[in-house]
Structure 1
Amino acid sequence: MTSPRKDWNVLSHGSAILPSHGREHNLSLVLQTLADQGALSRADLARATGLTRVTVSELVAELLHRSHVIETGTQEGKRPGKPSTLVDLNRPGLRIIGVDLSGIIPFRAAIMDLDGVILQSFSSQGRGATGQDAADQLLELLDTALAQCQVPVLGIGIGSPGVVTDKGIVLSAEKFGWRDYDLRSAVEQATGISTHVLNDADCAILAEHTFGQGSGHMILLRLGRGVGCGVITHNTLVRGAGFAAGELGHVRLHAQDTAECSCGNIGCLETCISLPAIWKALSEGQPKNQLDQQVAAYLASAVAPLLSVLDIRNVIFTGPRDVVDQALAQALHEALALRSHTARASDFRLVLSEDPEHLVLRGSAVNVLFHELGIA
C-alpha cells in the first residue's frame, strides 16, 4: 500500500470550444471536486462548483449511468427534513492497471484504485526483450494483472522510455528497438480496454505533481536506464513540438565524450550518468563520493539552463535509493547553484522523491484519470 491521498494539484485542461466540450468540462469539474473533497451531496456539489442544482443533478445522473460515481449514503444532521444523499467517485467499483516499462528490472504492473493506491503488483518473467518480444512480454504481464482484477478497469496506463506521442505511438525507444510503434493500439486491440501511453519521466512527474511534493512549476530528474526529465509549468505538462521535451539523456555536453550511445550517437549524457554507467564505474572501483560529484556536474550542466529559462524553483530528484541518495542530491544542489542564479534563490528547493519505486506506476494512473475522467 502506498501513502494516503492528499490535496491534489490539478493539471490544466484548457478551455471548452464546443457545447459538448463545455458539458464534458462540467462533468470533469464534478469529478474533480469529488476527487478533492470526497463524498458530497448534490447541493454541496452545486455550491463547490458554482453550477446550478439542476445542472449538478443532471450531471450526477449521467455520471451514475456511466458508473463513474456512486451514491454512498445519506448526510445526517445538517438541516431539518429529508437527509441529503451523498455521491462520490466510484472508488470501490473501478480500478486502473498501470505498467512501468522503464526499469532495468523486469516490466512491472499494478492494480490501483482511483486514488493511486497500489493494491496488487506484478512483474514479468523475463528481461532484456526487444522488438515484438518486448511487446509480447508486456501483453502477458497485462493478462496476468487483468486476470487478478475482480472489478471493472477504467483504463490501462503505460509509462514507456523514449519519445511517445499524444496518440500513444512510441516514435523511438532504443532500449526496445521500437520505432513508430503504435503501442496504444496494440494494447487496446489485445485487451479491449482504453489505454494511455506516456513517457516514463512524464509519468513520474505527474505522480509527484498529484500525490507528492510537486507544484505548478517544477522539474523532475530521474536516473534510470537513461536520464529522464519531466517539466510542468502553470500546472501543464510540457511535451514539446515533437513530444520529446525532457529528453536530457541524448544531450552531448562535452566534445571529448565519445562513448557510443544506444541511439547511435556518441557522448550522450546517458552514457556517462545513467544507472548502467554509474554501476559500471562503481564496479571498477571509483569511490561513491567522487562519482557523486561527477554525476552532479554533468546533470547540473544540462539542467541549469532550464531552471533559468523557465524560472523553476522546485526540483524533484529520483532514482534507486542506493544511487540517488541524499549525498548525490546535495552534490547536485551545489552544482546547480554554481551554474544558475535561480538555484541560489531563497525559495529554491531540490528534494528526493519519497516514493521512487512507484512513481511511474502511479503517474500512469494519473494519466488514465486525466483522459478518462478529466481529473488529476
Structure 2
Amino acid sequence: MMSKRADLFNGMEKSVIILDGGLGTTLESISKTQIANTPLWSAEALSKDPEAIVAAHLAYLQAGAQIIETSTYQCSLDTFQRAGYNIDTAKQLMHRAISLAQKARSIFNTQRSAMQQLIAQPPIRICLSLGPFGASLSPTQEFEGFYPPPYGPRGYSTESMNSNYFDEDSEEEKAIQALAAFHFERLMMFAEDKGTWSCIDMIAFETVPLAREAIAIRRTMAKFEDENRDNGMGKAWWISFVLPEGRCPQMTDTDGERLTASELVWASLSPNLLGGREDEDVGVPDGFGINCTSVEYLPRIVDEMGLACMKIEREERPFLVLYPNGGDEYDRVRGVWKTGDREKRGEWATRLAGVVERVVGCRGCIWGGVVVGGCCRCSAEQIAELVNNM
C-alpha cells in the first residue's frame, strides 16, 4: 500500500506542491466584516461573511495553489466561547469551514477548461489548519509561547518578566499532557462528522512555538490514529514551527538561551523522544517545516534542519514545508501590519523559489518533497509569482 507521504507526491516530476498564502490576512482585506484583532480572526467570517472565505480560497487556487488551508487556525471551544458562541454553534461553524473549502474546490474544478482537464493535473487538496494552543489565548501567544499553567510555566504578563522555561521536568511533562488533551479534543470535533472528515486530505499543526507542544501534538496523533486504525481516517500531517527573527521562542534556561532548529527536528521527527524513552507513544509526522517567518531566515534554518534530519533513522523521508510571511512586518505593540520594503517584497517569490531549488536539487536529498507557499500577508499575486518561478 502506498504511504500517505508517497501518495502526496506520486507522479510529480519535481516533488514540489504549491500551498496557498495568508488566508487570514487576505480576509482582512476583502471581507465585509471586521476580523482583525478579534478572538476568531479568520474564523470570524465563518458566520458573518462565508462567501469571502470561498472567494479567498478561489483566488489562491486560480493563482496556482494545489493545497488550500481551512479557515480554522484559531478555532477552539475557548475562542468561540470568548467570541460569544455556544458549543453547538461553535462545532457547526468549525464544520462549515471545511464545507466552504470544499465548495471552493468544486467551483475551481468545474472552471477548469476541457483542455486543461486533458492534461494531467495534481488534485486540489484541502488541509485542516490547526494553530497552536497559543492561538487560543488573548493576547495570542504563538510567537512567544508564554502559556499559563498547566499548559506552561506562566502566562503572559505586562507587569513582570515573561518566561516559557520549566525548572523541573515533571512540570514540563504535565504541560505536555495538558497540551495533548487540548489538541486531541479539537481534532475530534472535526473527526466526529464523517462528511466533514472525508473532505480533509491532510492536517497542518502550524505556527508552533515550542518543542514540548510538538511532542504533545505527536501524542495526539498517536492516540487518534490508534483509536481510528480500522476505519480509514488517517491523513497525512505536518508540524511547522514559527521562528521570529530566525530563532525558536522556547527558552532553555533562565538566561534566555533558545532551542536550536536541530532540537526542533528531534522533537518532531525522532522515533525515540526525551532521552531514550522507548515506550513513548508518539506519532511521526509526514512533513516538517517553518511558517510565519521571514523568508530571509530560511536558507540557514533549512540547512540546519537538513543536517539534523540526516541523523534520524526513519523508514520514509519527511517532506519539507515552507510558508514564510509575505514580506510585511507585524507591529506587536500596535497590533497592525507595516508594509515591508517594496524591493524585498518584490523578491519574495524569487528568494523562496531559490530555497526550494536548493532542496530538490541537492544530491542525496534527505527530504521526500517540498510543500511551499506563503503565510501572513502573502497574497494570491505572490503565490502566482512563486508558481512562475518554480
> Could you state the TM-score of these two structures normalised by the residue count of structure 1?
0.31
Give 1 or 2: higher strand fraction: 1
Larger Rg: 1
TM-score, normalization by structure 2: 0.30
